[in-house]
């Protein structure tokens, strides 16, 4: 890495933590005056940027949930990526989140197990994000800036998934299970996500354990399924979505929903993707008007991956509205993971039941009302004889629109079946992002990858 410094800051992409920084009266660039509350707020906001900003858009572009028709999105649509494309995103993950969580655990963790536990969950989320997109990444040797070690060795993705992520989440759960009296400081409003509710944080940790175990479906089909179900059995989450982990935004110039800010600032750059719209239209899905606006003809349509048609539907206000929260970890996702894991363990009835619940939960989450009887009959009434992996991943692809998970699922499973952009640099959907130029130029210990069509370790 060019540099790993102890920095607490809000990204240029997303500055919604300024409200919190003003509240504490602390300079975001003065680590000598930091606090666990400030570190937590700024790290959560940076995590929102990482998970709902450009990395989410390019993932949705690859999976054809959206289409790029102008500006740099045309390049992305053609799979024209280089080592300068995602330098900022790489930097934000490390200097905007992982450095902060390191300080939060090391400097303030003793005597503050709740802060430490939350920090470890945020560490796991951002580390897995970087590894899922880039493969091998720095971690164990990456945060020694004060020792002038700016050239960290990389951890293999295998070690991150087999050891680092499970250990982080197990430690987080143990920290969050401590009594209130074990804490010198208690997270409250500085915890933008859950307001200090450790029960919800523990539920998130267990769902993440299931997510990361399920990611290894090609590496260890049976073991990954068993571990996923074990984690989900320990999670206390609510079907109404009140325990869902959401990226939160506010209707002000410094705290806008990232999809809203993008489509407002770069109108016409993206349209809805034909693949997703066709799925929704075909099933008369009530999520459609939340996901998409009507096109120039007053209907709903999407632009194909190899097209630049600009008369199709824009992103809907159910997604891209200034103050709209966006999902990060949800009950619906947990039920889709359960369905897939049960299917791998030859339990099709249990898989079907979990799938049906996942679809209904997603519809309720997005629309605010229960799915219609007709929709349930046609889309959420699978049985032991009819449930398939393709159906599970297709509905998960719809439910998790705006998240990066559909791209991970596509690489893992090959579903949904997508036709690459024939006009691309290569007629193949990329399987990873190229290494950052900063790593290539300044870190001789980096694992440099330029071939975006080479699979990451868990994608066999």
* 3-state secondary structure string across 79-97: CCCCCCCCHHHHHHHHHHH
User: Which one, of 103, 93, 179, 87, lies nearest residue 143 by Cα?
Assistant: 103
Span 279-308, average pLDDT: 97
Quote the pLDDT of residue 289.
Answer: 98
Average pLDDT over residues 7-15: 37
Q: How confident is the model over 406-423, as a mean pLDDT?
A: 97
What rounded mean pLDDT belongs to the chain? Answer: 92
pLDDT tens string 131-163:
999 999 999 998 876 445 678 999 999 999 999
- If you ran DSSP here, which 8-state letter would residue 76 be given? H
Q: Judge whether residue 112 has pLDDT over 50.
A: yes
Using the predicted structure, report yes or no on whether residue 198 has a pLDDT greater than 60: yes
Q: Which residues, including other chains, have CB under 8 Å from residue 436's CB and lie 6 or more apart? A: 83, 86, 87, 90, 91
d(CA 303, CA 423): 14
Q: Where are the alpha helices (DSSP H) in 215-295?
A: 221-234, 258-265, 274-282, 288-291
Task: Answer whether residue 53 shows pLDDT above 90.
Answer: yes
Q: Is the pLDDT of residue 11 over 70?
A: no
User: Which H/E stretch holds residue 245?
Assistant: strand 245-247
Q: Cα–Cα distance between 20 and 104 in angstroms, integer?
A: 17
Choose between 163 and 96: higher pLDDT: 163
The pLDDT, as a whole number, for residue 33 is: 63
* φ, ψ of residue 450 in degrees (nearest 5): -110, -20
Per-residue confidence (pLDDT) for residue 1, from 0 to 100:
57
Q: Which residues contact 414 (CB under 8 A, 6 or more apart)?
A: none
- Measure the CA–CA gap between 395 and 427, rounded to whole angstroms: 26
Structure tokens at 150: 């700016």
DSSP string spanning 60-72? HHHTTSEEE-STH
Residues 229 and 342 sit within 8 Å (Cβ to Cβ): yes
Confidence at residue 150, expressed as pLDDT on a 0 to 100 scale: 76
Give tens-digit pLDDT for 359-402: 999 999 999 999 999 999 999 999 999 999 999 999 999 999 99
CATH 1.25.40.390 holds for 18-252+325-442: yes
In tens, the pLDDT along 234-257 reads: 999 889 999 999 999 998 777 899
Per-residue pLDDT tens for 155-182?
999 999 999 999 999 999 999 999 999 9
């Amino acid at each position: 890495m060019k540099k790993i410094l102890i920095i607490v800051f809000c990204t240029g992409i997303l500055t919604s933590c300024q409200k919190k920084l003003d509240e504490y009266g602390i300079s975001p660039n003065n680590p000598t005056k930091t606090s666990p509350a400030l570190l937590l707020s700024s790290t959560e906001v940076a995590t929102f940027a990482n998970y709902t900003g450009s990395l989410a858009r390019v993932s949705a572009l690859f999976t054809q949930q959206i289409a790029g028709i102008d500006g740099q999105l045309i390049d992305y649509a053609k799979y024209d990526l280089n080592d300068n494309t995602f330098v900022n995103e790489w930097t934000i993950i490390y200097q905007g989140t992982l450095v902060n969580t390191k300080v939060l655990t090391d400097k303030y963790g003793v005597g503050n197990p709740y802060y430490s536990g939350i920090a470890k969950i945020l560490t796991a989320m951002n580390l897995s994000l970087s590894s899922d997109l880039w493969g091998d990444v720095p971690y164990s040797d990456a945060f020694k800036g004060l020792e002038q070690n700016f050239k960290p060795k990389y951890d293999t993705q295998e070690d991150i998934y087999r050891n680092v992520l499970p250990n982080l989440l197990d430690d987080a759960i143990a920290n969050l299970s401590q009594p209130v009296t074990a804490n010198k400081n208690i997270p409250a409003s500085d915890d933008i996500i859950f307001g200090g509710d450790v029960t919800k944080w523990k539920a998130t940790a267990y769902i993440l354990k299931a997510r990361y175990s399920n990611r290894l479906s090609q590496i260890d089909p049976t073991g990954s399924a068993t571990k996923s179900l074990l984690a989900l059995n320990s999670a206390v989450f609510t079907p109404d979505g009140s325990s869902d982990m959401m990226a939160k935004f506010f209707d002000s110039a410094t705290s806008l929903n990232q999809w809203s800010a993008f489509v407002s600032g770069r109108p016409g750059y993206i349209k809805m993707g034909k693949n997703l719209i066709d799925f929704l239209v075909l099933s008369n899905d009530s999520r459609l008007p939340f996901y998409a606006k009507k096109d120039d003809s007053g209907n709903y349509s999407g632009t194909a991956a190899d097209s630049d048609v600009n008369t199709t539907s824009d992103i809907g206000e159910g997604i891209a509205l200034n103050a709209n929260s966006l999902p990060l970890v949800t009950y619906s996702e947990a039920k889709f993971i359960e369905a897939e894991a049960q299917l791998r363990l030859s339990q099709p009835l249990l898989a079907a039941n979990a799938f049906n619940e996942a679809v209904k939960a997603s519809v309720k989450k997005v629309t605010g009302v229960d799915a219609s009887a007709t929709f349930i009959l046609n889309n959420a009434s699978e049985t032991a004889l009819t449930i398939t992996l393709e159906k599970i991943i297709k509905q998960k692809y719809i439910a998790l629109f705006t998240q990066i998970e559909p791209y991970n699922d596509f690489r893992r499973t090959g579903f949904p079946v997508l036709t690459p952009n024939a006009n691309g640099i290569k007629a193949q959907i990329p399987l990873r992002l190229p290494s950052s130029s900063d790593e290539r130029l300044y870190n001789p210990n980096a694992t440099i990858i330029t071939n975006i069509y080479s699979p990451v370790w868990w994608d066999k």
